[in-house]
Amino acid sequence: MALHLDSKVPLGPIQEKWDKHRFSVQLVNPTNKRRFRIIVVGTGLAGAAAAASLGELGYRVQAFTFHDSPRRAHSVAAQGGINAAKNYRNDGDSVFRLFYDTIKGGDFRAREANVYRLAQLSNQIIDHCVAQGVPFAREYGGLLDNRSFGGAQVARTFYARGQTGQQLLLGAYQAMARQIQAGTVELRTRTEMLDLVVHEGRAVGIVVRDLLNGDIRSYAADAVVLATGGYSNVFFLSTNAKASNATAIWRAHRRGAAFANPCFTQIHPTCIPQSYDSQSKLTLMSESLRNDGRIWVPVAAEDPRPPEAIPEAERDYLLERRYPTFGNLVPRDVASRAVKAVVDVQKGVGPLRNGVYLDLEESIGRLGADAIQERYGNLIDMYSRITGEDPYRTPMRIYPAPHYTMGGLWVDYDLMTTIPGLFCIGEANFSDHGANRMGASALMQGLADGYFILPVTIGGYLAPHLANPVPPRAHGAFVQVEAEVLDRSQQLLATRGSRSVDWFHRQLGKLMWDQCGMARSRTGLEQAASQIPALQAEFAKDLRVLGDHDSMNQSLERAGRVADFFELARLMCADALHREESCGGHFRVEHQTAEGEAVRDDTRFAYVAAWEYSGPDTPAILRPEALSFEHVKPAVRSYS
Amino acid sequence: MKLTLQIWRQPNSRTRGAFVTYQLEDLSQHMSFLEALDVLNERLLGQGEEPVAFDHDCREGICGSCGVMINGQPHGPEPATATCQVHLRSFADGDLVVVEPWRAAGFPIIKDLSVDRSAFDRIIEAGGFVSVPTGSAPEANLVPIPKPAAETAMDAAACIGCGACVAACPNRAAQLFVGAKLTHLNSLPQGKPEQATRVLAMVEEMERFFGSCTNYAECEAACPKGISIDVIARLNRDYISAKLGASALSGK
């Protein structure tokens, strides 16, 4: 079966597309909404916002999370802020400029119409969140404050100290709690989706495992929404929470949903460098620190002196030198590569020489320590707790780490995947960020999808299905998938090998970081294409998971997720190998300028690479969606 | 460095638990406390013993998933620090470290160090929100909010819902958690219209699960986000005025 990748972008001027589309989408009348059941998997920004908004509309919503509470979703950890084109600073911002910056920042690999809609909705998101009681930072006059983020020359980022994600998530979580109280949303916590059920070409439900008692059971619904986040944990060491995983979207991919741009991963420049082998994760230091922090390394390689002892003339402020226009606020992909380049030539700092300095000294001198503490106090405290060092006295050390994945399930303008009735929102889908996400845009996209886009577009899918109910969960379609899920779990327990899940995950992560991380080469990716299946085969033979299926078993949960990471890793490498260009976060060493800048190839690769699953051991089939740029002319991205 | 860990092991809520002692060697002082548990779990797996179950996720002190009693203190020895942000440099080489789950009737034990904190969700569902349907909000800068009010709201909104306040309290009261949410929302103009119904509903729900506050202030000392017991004063004030307002309205 050939997949038709029709983005269903409405015709007409870009400014009017969303308005016209909302008018043309078929509506479901209020009393009929009660007749539709919608499953939302994941309760982060996108999922909780969608569940709340769908509940308010009158749909019967079932929300699922593997956490003990929706408030734990990893959106909570987003620090810096959320963009909106309010132009409160009078600095020349507009919907068009936010659109332009996002398309350019994404290195011309995102769909114009989607990004324009995102920029249009950005202002409404801020209005809504303020009304919910999100305590954004304010000026003394009582109005909202803004700060700057990478890749933009205007200050359009709204923030709540260094806890913007937490506060926006609590807003969405509380909105969902209101609907739980009202009876429109039913919440299942500590319940993990392990497969999707497709019947007669349409998504009709999911199969889950109750993480407390191991029960495998199905839930049927008229539509399924996946809001399950990104897959940076394929690298093992990332800034993602430990449980973040790809299982829901990967299982949907295996059931027929195309997976788009899997190799577009974001390596965030400002994370705390790894300091020992048994480290379990990496910690992000918000990009907002680049507003007031200067990035530098000693001019001399392997300089043994402490930072304080290195005179100004012997410091290389590498971003200010290479990119004078944007300075320390270049986009993430550009900053990460510049940092890697100096560490690769032995100019790295710290005990393992695996970082660069992010120095607040000049800003402390200019603004005072109190002002810096007000802006970044909680980040600086977190840094101190982890490293035992004091950033008010000595520069912080940072190095890039996997942070966000632009790739994800392919969706059309309505946010529907290639499986009718299966929608995908937030980081889990591929939309809007192209090959590199701009800072403070993830929260914006998750909330735009959840609050404002999906609640409208899902009606267009449901309306014609009023007389076409889904089968009950006793139907064979569900029973069959339940049996498959149980079988996979039992197999993991029955392997009885000698190595732990984490051992395999670390091996896979290291392999992916080396071969499919910040710099990718044909040779490396070809090696990975044989190394990953070998490791995967060993996993199938030598995995050891103790305990049983019928109670809380955290190793078993992790084993299922890592099994899916293996398959996803193979697709990421295949995608990275096929894309013979460098763009955004995807850097192929064969395609760079003499100065080390990325070289994009618009004649051959100005498309979304969506992959169709074709079996465990056969290569996925490429289904490109061509991208056309009518409003922003693709050009060499320059920040210098 | 070396540590002796005495850890509470309990297979499920129906079976009695007990402390089990484990020796850990070759630890780095830079490791986090949860990474020491990771190391222990890897070793247990190698020996064919089931790993210790504990809740954790972001390991950045913001998701609120983690939280254990370390030597009798919720989240351990460091002030204003969640369990995942405690590092081994807080302990001396050779220390004995006793690790237990939160102990509270409102938080039943699930397994080992993992407890059920869903009572907190029930309290939020009772009224911890502003009723604003998607699409109905006015322009964001229409209502100026004085900076001090916004700061007070943010201080309280920093709560991560970990439950340390309950675990620290001799009465197993949840006033700090509930007071934090009430202070967050009731300090803002957006939260005013529902202030009275919110405080009454949340307190009523709270009392189904948790004990009464008698001002020990242990909660404040245990809070990983440094939330002040001022929020409890606010809770009491808002509760009294809601009660008086409610009885005045009903003519009693």
Interface ipTM? 0.97
- Of A267, A288, A271, A284, the closest CA to residue A404 belongs to A267
Cβ proximity of A64 and A39 under 8 Å? yes
B55-88: per-residue pLDDT in tens? Answer: 999 999 999 999 999 999 999 999 999 999 999 9
Nearest residue on chain A to B39, judged by CA atoms?
A278
Chain B, nearest residue to A168 by Cα: B157
User: Residue A353's domain is classified under what CATH number?
Assistant: 3.90.700.10
- For residue A3, the model assigns a pLDDT of 56
Distance CA A514, CA A512 (A): 5
Mutation for testing the B interface, residue in A66, A76, A380, A397 having most B CBs under 10 Å: A76
Are B59 and A72 in contact (CB < 8 Å)? no
b/e per residue A309-347 (b: at least 16 CB within 10 A): ebeeeebbbbbeebbeebbbbbbbbbbbbbbbbbbeeeb
pLDDT in tens, A257-292: 999 999 999 999 999 999 888 899 999 998 889 989
Give the separation between CA B69 and CA B104, rounded to whole angstroms: 12
Q: Quote the CA–CA distance of A418 and A416 in Å, as a whole number.
A: 7
Q: Tokens 């004030």, residue?
A: B237
If DSSP codes are grouped into helix, strand and coil, which group holds residue A138? Answer: strand
Q: How confident is the model at residue A138 (pLDDT cuts 50, 70, 90)?
A: very high
- Tell which wins on pLDDT, A222 or A381: A222
Predicted pLDDT at A128: 98
Smallest CA–CA distance from B40 into chain A, residue: A278
A446 to chain B, minimum CA–CA distance in Å? 14
Instruction: Please determine, for residue A357, whether its predicted confidence score (pLDDT) is greater than 80.
Output: yes
Q: Is residue A306 part of a domain?
A: yes
In degrees and rounded to multiples of 5, residue A374 shows phi and psi of: -65, -40
pLDDT, average across residues A10-15: 97
**Distance set, CA B233 to CA A237, B146, B237, B239 (Å):** 43, 21, 6, 10
pLDDT at B128 over 90: yes
CA distances from A634 to A108, A434, A439 (A): 6, 13, 21
Q: What is the pLDDT of residue B249?
A: 55
What CATH number has the domain bearing residue A548? 1.20.58.100
State which amino acid sits at residue A58. Answer: G
Among A402, A417, A432, identify where a domain stops: A402
Angstroms from B249 CA to nearest CA on chain A:
25
Q: Chain A residue closest to B121 (CA)?
A: A69
At A14-62, the pLDDT tens digits run 999 999 999 999 999 999 999 999 999 999 999 999 999 999 999 999 9
* CATH for the B3-110 domain, from 3.20.10.10, 3.10.20.30, 3.40.190.10, 1.10.760.10: 3.10.20.30
Residue A375 binned pLDDT confidence (cut-offs 50, 70, 90): confident
The domain limits of chain B are: 3-110, 118-249
Q: How many whole angstroms separate alpha carbon B55 and alpha carbon A214?
A: 17
Quick one: A622 and A487 in the same domain?
Answer: yes
Number of domains in chain A: 2
Q: In this structure, how many other beta carbons lie within 10 angstroms of the beta carbon of residue A96? A: 16
The whole-number pLDDT of residue B251 equals 52
- What distance in Å separates residue B214's CA from the closest CA in chain A? 28
Residues of A with catalytic annotation?
332
User: With pLDDT > 70 as the criterion, what percentage of chain A qualifies?
Assistant: 99
Cβ of B62 within 8 Å of Cβ of A276? The answer is no
Chain A contact set for B89 (CB, 8 A): 388
Band (pLDDT 50/70/90 cuts) for residue B247 is low
Q: What is the mean pLDDT of residues A169-175?
A: 98
Residue A1 has pLDDT above 50, yes or no: no
pLDDT tens per residue, range B171-187: 999 999 999 999 999 99
Residue A2 has pLDDT above 60, yes or no: no
pLDDT of residue A78: 94
- For residue A599, give both structure tokens: 């070289």
Interface contact B31-A547, CB threshold 8 A? no
Residue B20 β-bridge partners: B7
Q: Quickly tell me which residue has 């808002």 as its tokens.
A: B238
Other Cβ atoms less than 10 A from the Cβ of A138: the count is 20
Interchain pair A128, B50: CB under 8 A: no
Taking an 8 Å cut-off on Cβ atoms, the answer to whether A77 and B62 are in contact is: yes
Kindly state whether residue A337 falls inside one of the protein's structural domains: yes
Residue A160 CA to residue A141 CA, distance in Å, equals 17
Residue B35 Cα, gap to closest chain A Cα (Å): 7
Closest C-alpha among A421, A425, A422 to residue A253: A422
Asked if the B118-249 domain carries CATH number 3.40.50.720, the reply is no
For A385, the domain range is 268-402
CB contact under 8 A, A130 and B190: yes
In a domain, A536, yes or no: yes
Instruction: Return the SS3 of A67.
Output: coil
pLDDT tops 60 at residue B144:
yes
> Do A122 and B137 meet the contact criterion of CB atoms below 8 Å apart?
no
> Which residue in A69, A173, A380 has the most chain B C-beta atoms within 10 A of its own C-beta, making it the best mutation to test that interface?
A69
Cross-chain residue pair A189–B51, CB shorter than 8 Å: no
Contact present, B147 and A138 (Cβ < 8 Å): yes
